[in-house]
Structure 1
């Protein structure tokens, strides 16, 4: 994430700290910061760094040489990335494209014990759009591709300004090299104010490969410095 949405033009260096929690059958926690040397609402270069960790349960055959076939595994993942790019600011919103290195480490846990997989390094591509088609609506889209885990994540959300936040539907999809798929379909409230923080809360249904549908909850917070 880059910012809570299109902002008024601001001059000078700006830093935004952010964090998020995705809780469900698959859980992931992340934190990071964005630096815009020219200001949040102006055309210019931006830098984004993030770290995260999470876990999920997997079913089926494990093809790892040191780990025998089991009915269920837990995959724990840690990853980090530092990307740099450019943002274009318009009256209707902001578009940003970034690229840079990423690294990941994974561990598989099952009835036969734990197996730490070799660390992987690769390239991350990151694109975001925060648009206001009208004065009362928000359209947000994010796409992230990573080569260290051969994964992709995308989110699309629309909201209408109501009760101090943008309320509306959202959908996201995550896929990776293990043929794992995760769909999130739900509702979100974006740009809620809580003291010096801005928040996004999402709830809905999570559909995962090899599992029954279940609920999910996402909480995200950011604060300009």
Structure 2
């Protein structure tokens, strides 16, 4: 059995922080079953209630977690993984009319990812996550070419959920640069949101075998 711990921070017009672990039972680089557990929280600004013809802002704070079971397939060209399991979330809405705590919700999450190496010097990653508690979908597509020990290249990401909120980001990333056993990913780009907000974003990710 082996484990990988990871964490990430997304900062931009909205912000989200998460951490978790992936546990494998047949080694970290072999076909086999795995457990993926994660939790996180964040905040974003949305359009709030309209008062006397003036639209106000609403801040939504969310905490969410999931424990998923799945399988990983290793090939010469890369790795494919698929997970499914329960997730739960709770939200706090803050606006000029007061604070509202939404009831705790639970449901199912589906998580799939591909890490492929089309050539010895390139990396293609595709990640998709669907969650029923917030009727959410998140996807990221990134390509990189190996330079100075890391994969550098473009990325795009899209998120939507059942509140009518969405965000789209496009930028550049550096993936798999290392300090000892610790690996990192950094992304920088521009993000737009359905609320009309837009601005630069920064993503930092870290993972380490345990």
Q: Same fold (TM over 0.5)?
A: yes
Alignment of 1:124-135 (within 5 A): 124-135=109-120
Gaps of 5+ in 2: none
Mapped contact 1:206–1:214 kept (Cα < 8 A) = yes
Instruction: Report the CA distance shift for 1:112/1:61 in structure 2 as closer, same or farther (over 3 A).
Output: closer
Aligned-pair distance for 1:195?
3.1
The 3-state SS of whatever aligns with 1:59 is: strand
Per-residue Cα deviation, 1:183-213 (whole angstroms, up to 9, x for no partner): 0100000001123310000000001012242
TM-score (normalised: structure 1): 0.90
Q: Does 1:44 align with 2:32?
A: yes
Gaps of 5+ in 1: 1-12, 63-68
Structure 2 residue aligned with 1:56: 44
Alignment of 1:2-151 (within 5 A): 13-61=1-49, 71-151=56-136
TM-score (normalised: structure 2): 0.96
Q: 1:215 aligns with which of 164, 185, 200?
A: 200
Q: Residues of 1 paired with 2:13 and 2:129: CA distance?
A: 21
Q: Which 10-residue stretch deviates more, 208-217 or 29-38?
A: 208-217
Per-residue Cα deviation, 1:63-97 (whole angstroms, up to 9, x for no partner): xxxxxx95100000000000001111000000011
Q: Residues of 1 paired with 2:134 and 2:105: CA distance?
A: 7
The answer to which structure has the higher strand fraction is 2
Mapped contact 2:9–2:18 kept (Cα < 8 A) = yes
Per-residue Cα deviation, 1:88-108 (whole angstroms, up to 9, x for no partner): 100000001110000000000
Q: 1:195 aligns with which of 175, 180, 185?
A: 180
Q: Residues of 2 paired with 1:125 and 1:61: CA distance?
A: 33
Structure 2 residue aligned with 1:169: 154
Q: Residues of 1 paired with 2:198 and 2:57: CA distance?
A: 17
Per-residue Cα deviation, 1:136-175 (whole angstroms, up to 9, x for no partner): 0000000000001100000000000001100000000000
Mapped contact 1:70–1:111 kept (Cα < 8 A) = no
The 3-state SS of whatever aligns with 1:42 is: coil
The 3-state SS of whatever aligns with 1:71 is: strand
What RMSD, in angstroms, separates the aligned Cα atoms of the two structures?
A: 1.2
Following TM superposition, the consecutive aligned residue runs of length 4 or more in structure 1 with deviations greater than 6 angstroms are none
